[in-house]
Amino acid sequence: MNTLQRPSSGAGSRVDNPLDFAVNARDQATLDMVATAIEYKQTLLAFQPIMMANDTTKVGFYEALIRVMDETGRIIPAKDFMDVIEETELGRRIDALSINMGLRALHENPALRLSVNMSARSIGYQRWMQNFKRWIERDRSIAERLILEITESSAMELPDMVVRFMDDLQALGVSFALDDFGAGHTALRYFKDFYFDVLKIDGQFVKGIAHDPDNQALTHAMIDIARHFDMLTVAEFVESRDDMEKLIEMGVDCLQGFLFSAPKTRPDWMQTELKTASRR
């Protein structure tokens, strides 16, 4: 298997700084791990529920989060490899696998509503679009139950392309979420063009919000922006009851975080499906 290399940042291939050498070696190991996982089909999705703020016992939808397995069988979350592969071909292949597995889950579970992450860099990637079209042609109801999540920083890199992509897929019934809002550098003027359906407030503003007046003010502003543009709001990384109660008081629509559930590769609804199938 060919080893995927990141381009050298200086002249030649020599790394003078020991720290740079260690970072480059670590990144190469990550690239190799993901490439191997893809080659041997060791990828899967974990599902985290997003709860309704007006009734925190009810799931509004689930977020599908990509995972890979390393050579020891450990399940590795996206946060441990996505930054390294984001700008490489592996990033595009992971996005294509994510949409394929996500749409399969929607097809197999007609009551499921699911968000799937993708990078703006994957817009126009042939394999991603092939997987999308294949499932949509097979089951038209999938589009209306699919939410595509694009991070704020990714959307801002290619705003014009993102707008055209959203227009095309929203015409089919697909919804879009702006992920990690507040963490990047959104040009607010683009809100008039983007027409995102969901705004996900970055966790750095959510953690400890019950006792942080500054984050309360910033989150209030984000909620006001979302309301003006008719977007559903989701607070990410909700981990305490105090934060949950403050967010509900502030008017957030949905809540996501470990307070409710960690991402699971075998969520309750999938377990039910498996039990039903085993009885047949």
**Each residue's pLDDT tens digit, 140-167:** 999 999 999 998 888 888 889 999 999 9
Spatial distance between the Cα atoms of 25 and 48, rounded to a whole number of angstroms: 32
Q: Report yes or no on 228 lying in a domain.
A: yes
Q: Residue 155 falls within a domain, yes or no?
A: yes
Residues of the chain with pLDDT under 70: 1-16, 18-23, 184-187, 271-280
Domain membership of residue 225 as a residue range: 18-279
What's the confidence (pLDDT) of residue 110?
A: 95
Quote the tokens at residue 105.
Answer: 């889950």
User: What pLDDT is stored for residue 2 in this prediction?
Assistant: 45
Going from the C-alpha of 154 to that of each of 31, 75, 149, 160, the distances in angstroms are 20, 25, 10, 12
Per the document, the length of the chain is 280
Residue 279 neighbours by CB under 8 Å, 6+ apart: none
CATH number at residue 79: 3.20.20.450
Per-residue burial over 34-48, b = 16 or more CB atoms within 10 Å of its CB, e = otherwise = bbebbeeebbbbbbb
What count of Cα atoms within 13 Å lies in the side-chain half-sphere of residue 79? 2
If one counts the domains in the chain, the total is 1
Question: Residue 16's pLDDT is what?
Answer: 63
Chain segment 211-241, per-residue pLDDT in tens = 999 999 999 999 999 999 999 999 999 999 9
- Asked whether residue 8 is domain-assigned, the answer is no
Q: What is the pLDDT of residue 276?
A: 44
